[in-house]
Copies of this chain bind each other. A is one copy, B any other.
């Protein structure tokens, strides 16, 4: 069993006298053992007072009267218009995806699980999350239904809102991948163009489309949520597979389908995906 992450001495900011002084501070006994370089609130106030004195002597003042700092000044950002958002600038943080990946010892990516209702998307997503966790990897599940309880609760199931639902989940998944997390998106996402739009948002090869190609009759016979029954009774309109089409992926990364009429178990599905992640290098920094 090898060690994984460790908490190194802070690199930030090597050039600052103030922070160099931090190392002589001590917090509470328990914290001091773990992180002897952390000052407490009162010590910070003392540091601030010292800094103010320094500033008053004109040692470290910016033209705005703000104290000097060791965070390099950024050049003036470029303002752009993006969609309906006018005059927005892109702020690049110094801790990027690569650094986060090194910390987590994994590569951020999006595992996009698509298929009919009842095809086993949520089961696979949760199983994957559990297995990855047991192996020490950080993943996060974006479940289509769950996201409709929060971020996307303003969206209905009409065509336009379904597209927007998928777009937003794609954008959020992209943020998680950017944070170095293995993001597992699990939603029907019936239209090819919507899924492909999400693929296009992400850097090459980090969008891993997993298609659960389970026959409609199998999914309908499971009907864990009773939705097919409602759809067949006409109580839900536009239900994928019943009165709305499902467009299968043309080039998905992972295809899950019955062999000799037998659906693979969740265990096998999980192994198939994790093996893919391993072979493609996502399970190392």
Contact = CB atoms under 8 A, between A and B. Distances in A.
Contacts of A93: 125-126, 129-130, 141, 143
A66 to B, nearest CB: 5
Contacts of A226: 76, 79
A79 B201 CA distance: 32
A122 B67 contact: no
A127 B71 contact: yes
B179 A176 contact: yes
A28 to B, nearest CB: 8
A80 to B, nearest CB: 8
A4 B35 CA distance: 13
Interface in A50-101: 51-52, 55-56, 60, 64-71, 74, 76-77, 79, 82-91, 93-95, 99-100
B265 A10 contact: no
Contacts of A35: 135, 278, 283
Interface stretch (A14-22, A203-211, A243-251): A14-22
A263 B67 contact: yes
Contacts of A135: 7-8, 10, 35
Contacts of A265: 18, 51, 60, 66-69
Given A2-B6, A6-B4, A77-B225, A94 B126 contact: yes
B180 A227 contact: no
A134 B91 contact: no
17 contacts: A3-B4, A7-B135, A12-B130, A13-B267, A35-B278, A39-B275, A40-B275, A47-B268, A64-B221, A66-B262, A67-B268, A69-B266, A71-B127, A76-B226, A90-B146, A150-B175, A150-B201
Given A4-B5, A93-B126, 17 more contacts: A2-B7, A3-B3, A3-B5, A8-B134, A11-B134, A18-B268, A39-B275, A69-B123, A74-B224, A76-B224, A83-B155, A84-B155, A93-B125, A103-B133, A140-B175, A140-B178, A175-B176
> Which A-B residue pairs are the 6 nearest by beta carbons?
A7-B136, A3-B3, A83-B153, A4-B5, A67-B265, A85-B148
Interface of A: 1-13, 16, 18-19, 22, 27, 31, 34-35, 38-41, 44, 47-49, 51-52, 55-56, 60, 64-71, 74, 76-77, 79, 82-91, 93-95, 99-100, 103-105, 122-123, 125-127, 129-131, 133-143, 145-146, 148-157, 161, 168, 171-172, 174-176, 178-181, 201, 218, 221-222, 224-227, 230, 236, 259-268, 270-272, 274-276, 278-279, 283-284
